């Protein structure tokens, strides 16, 4: 296998990139300034060498603590629990959330061999016990597995003194007519129904 094929093969392992696109990217890189390739390899090497999960929350970071955990202006008594690190970015972009995060690294799915011990759950318990956390917001996805993970977390945190456990709201989008909402959304809103 020559260098071009090897680079193409590596790129095509990335999600959403087929063999054809991978080769197009390789030729694009070959045509560009050689410094560009060096920059790209440098950036990738840094990913492998320097980025690691934040010791506290599991978000990716260049240092022991991530930018959020090390920021004294954040509200460290409110912890938002998400499945994956990229979801931190989605919430951060809203600019509305003052608290900190906890990244589970997935969701419960016994079918895929993922049980509670495979997720960053012990760490969450430690934080709740030792860091004066007052509220945990369960922001796992509305998928069945995300829901079950939230239920699990709620039940292990239920008995912690003066801790509030909340769930991200979901359901029918504001201002929409039931008739025009798809079945999945109605079904989820039905599951998320509350007493009035």
Partner 1 sequence: MRGFRNLGVQELTFPREGVAILGGNAQGKSNLLEAIYYLETLRSFRGSGDAQLVAFGCTVFRIEGDLAGDADPVQVAAAFDRGSRRKRVYLDGDPQDTLAAGLGRVGAVIFSPDDIRMINGPPAERRRFLDVVLSLNVPGYVEMLQRYRRALAQRNAALKASEGPTALEGWSRMLASSGSVLVCARARWIAERAGSFSAHYEAVSGAEVAALSYRPSVDEDETLASTEARILSALVDAERRDRRLRTTTVGPHRDEMAVVLEGADREVREFGSGGQRRTAALALRLVEADTVRDVRDPDPLVLMDDVFAELDQARSDRLLARIEGGRIGQVILTAPKEADVRVRRDALPRWQIEGGRVAA
| Residue 137 main-chain phi, psi, to 5 deg | -100, 120
What DSSP designation does 151 have?
Answer: H
Alpha-carbon span 179 to 74, nearest angstrom? 42
Q: What is the DSSP letter of 193?
A: -
Taking the least distance from each CB to Zn ion, the nearer of 53 and 192 is 53
For the packed helices 144-157 and 121-130, what is the interaxial angle rounded to 10 degrees?
Answer: 40
Counting contacts by CB under 8 A, is residue 155 touching partner 1? yes
Choose, by CB under 8 A, the member of 47, 122, 129, 151 that binds partner 1. Answer: 151
Site membership for partner 1, residue 111 (CB under 8 A): yes
If residue 187 lies in a helix (H) or strand (E), which one and from where to where?
helix 183-191
Strand partners, 102: 81
- From residue 49 to residue 68, the character string flagging contacts with Zn ion as x (rule: CB under 5 A) and all else as - is -----x-xx-x------x--
Residue 166 binds partner 1, judged by CB under 8 A: no
Binding residues for partner 1, rule CB under 8 A, total 25
Residues contributing to the site for partner 1 (CB under 8 A):
108-111, 113, 115-116, 144-145, 147-152, 155-156, 182-184, 186-187, 190-191, 193
């Amino acid at each position: 296998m020559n260098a071009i094929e090897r680079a193409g093969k590596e790129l095509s392992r990335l999600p959403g990139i087929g063999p054809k696109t991978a080769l197009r990217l390789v030729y694009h890189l070959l045509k560009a300034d050689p410094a560009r390739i060096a920059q790209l390899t440098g950036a990738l090497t840094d990913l492998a060498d320097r980025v690691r999960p934040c010791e506290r929350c599991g978000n990716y970071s260049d240092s022991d603590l991530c930018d959020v955990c090390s920021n004294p202006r954040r509200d460290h008594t409110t912890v938002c629990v998400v499945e994956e690190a990229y979801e931190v970015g989605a919430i951060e972009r809203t600019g509305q959330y003052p608290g900190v995060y906890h990244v589970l690294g997935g969701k419960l799915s016994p079918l895929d061999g993922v049980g509670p011990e495979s997720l960053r759950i012990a760490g969450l318990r430690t934080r709740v016990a030792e860091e004066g956390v007052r509220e945990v917001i369960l922001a796992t996805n509305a998928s069945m597995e995300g829901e079950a993970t939230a239920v699990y977390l709620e039940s292990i945190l239920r008995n912690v003194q003066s801790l509030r456990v909340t769930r991200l709201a979901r359901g029918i989008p504001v201002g929409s007519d039931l008739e025009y909402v798809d079945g999945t959304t109605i079904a989820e809103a039905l599951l998320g129904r509350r007493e009035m």
